[in-house]
């Protein structure tokens, strides 16, 4: 019996998430109503409230799931080795490509700016930890470098998602890693 309930719960959350993301693709979060999400999902409002407090709760759960997946991927690699840095970046980009529609919406103008900040903080923290592990870097210098790399990389990924993921995750991982390691001099 509990397996049946778990499936129903999972199904309900998935259709609510899909309905909500479709709305976010069309218009800003502030103009979306629970009623329209429920109608599109063919779920009543009381069922919505049995799963989420409000639309922001639904949004934060979607965002937190993505952040958690990204954090697990980032934590599994050693950044000081170029090969692993490329593999880690490629793995992240594969995840983003597989979840392209959701990620594209969350990174768009209709998305929550706080999500973009969370992704930035996550990337910055992992980059800073890897730079600090390299004893040749001065701490304040490492912080600025990690901010620069994280911001640039996120904007590259946003552009890549927005333009239809034309390049492979591997090609993008190599580009991002090359820019992070050598900057523009890598292309001269």
Domain membership of residue 188 (yes or no) is no
| pLDDT (0 to 100) of residue 59 | 94
Please, which residues have CB within 8 angstroms of residue 68's CB and are 6 or more apart in sequence?
Answer: none
Domain count, the chain: 2
Q: For the domain that residue 107 is a member of, what is the CATH number?
A: 1.10.357
Q: Which comes out higher in pLDDT, residue 187 or 157?
A: 157
Whether 131 and 41 map to the same domain: the answer is no
Is residue 23 within 8 A of residue 39, CB to CB? The reply is no
Question: In degrees, to the nearest 5, what angle opens at C-alpha 47 toward C-alphas 3 and 54?
Answer: 120
Question: What's the CA dihedral at 20, 26, 31, 37 to 10 degrees?
Answer: -30
For the domain that residue 44 is a member of, what is the CATH number? 1.10.10
Pair (76, 43) in one structural domain: no
55 pLDDT above the threshold of 90:
yes
Let me know whether 114 and 167 are in one domain: yes
> Does the residue 68 lie in any domain?
yes
d(CA 2, CA 99): 29
Interval 131-174: pLDDT, tens = 555 555 556 667 787 778 888 888 898 899 888 889 999 999 88
Q: Predicted confidence band at 44 (pLDDT cuts at 50, 70, 90)?
A: very high
Query: 95 lies in which domain range?
Result: 60-183
84 and 116 co-located in one domain: yes
Confidence of residue 115 (pLDDT cuts 50, 70, 90): confident
Do 46 and 89 belong to one domain? no
User: Is the separation of the CB atoms in 184 and 166 below 8 Å?
Assistant: no
Tell me, yes or no, whether 36 and 65 share the same domain.
Answer: no
Q: What tokens were used for 91?
A: 């793995």
Domain boundary among 34, 52, 70: 52
Q: What is the pLDDT of residues 82-100, one digit of tens each?
A: 667 778 788 888 888 888 8
Regarding whether 122 and 145 lie in a shared domain, the answer is yes
- Cα separation, 66 vs 64, in Å, equals 5
Regarding whether 142 and 98 lie in a shared domain, the answer is yes
Res 13: pLDDT? 93
List Cα–Cα distances, 97 to 29, 58, 167, in angstroms.
23, 22, 10
pTM greater than the 0.85 cutoff: no
């Amino acid at each position: 019996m509990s397996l049946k309930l778990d499936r129903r719960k999972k199904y309900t959350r998935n259709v609510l998430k899909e309905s909500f993301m479709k709305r976010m693709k069309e218009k800003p979060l502030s103009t979306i109503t629970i009623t329209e999400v429920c109608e599109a999902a063919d779920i009543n409002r009381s069922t919505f409230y049995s799963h989420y407090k409000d639309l922001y709760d639904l949004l934060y759960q979607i965002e937190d799931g993505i952040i958690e997946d990204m954090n697990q991927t980032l934590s599994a690699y050693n950044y000081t080795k170029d090969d692993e840095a490329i593999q880690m970046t490629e793995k992240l980009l594969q995840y983003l490509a597989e979840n392209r529609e959701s990620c594209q919406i969350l990174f768009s103008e209709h998305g929550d700016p706080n999500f973009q900040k969370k992704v930035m903080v996550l990337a910055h923290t992992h980059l800073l930890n890897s730079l600090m592990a390299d004893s040749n870097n001065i701490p304040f210098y490492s912080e600025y470098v990690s901010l620069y790399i994280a911001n640039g990389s996120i904007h590259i990924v946003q552009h890549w998602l927005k333009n239809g993921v034309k390049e492979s995750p591997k090609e993008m991982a190599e580009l991002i890693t090359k820019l992070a390691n050598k900057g523009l001099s890598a292309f001269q």
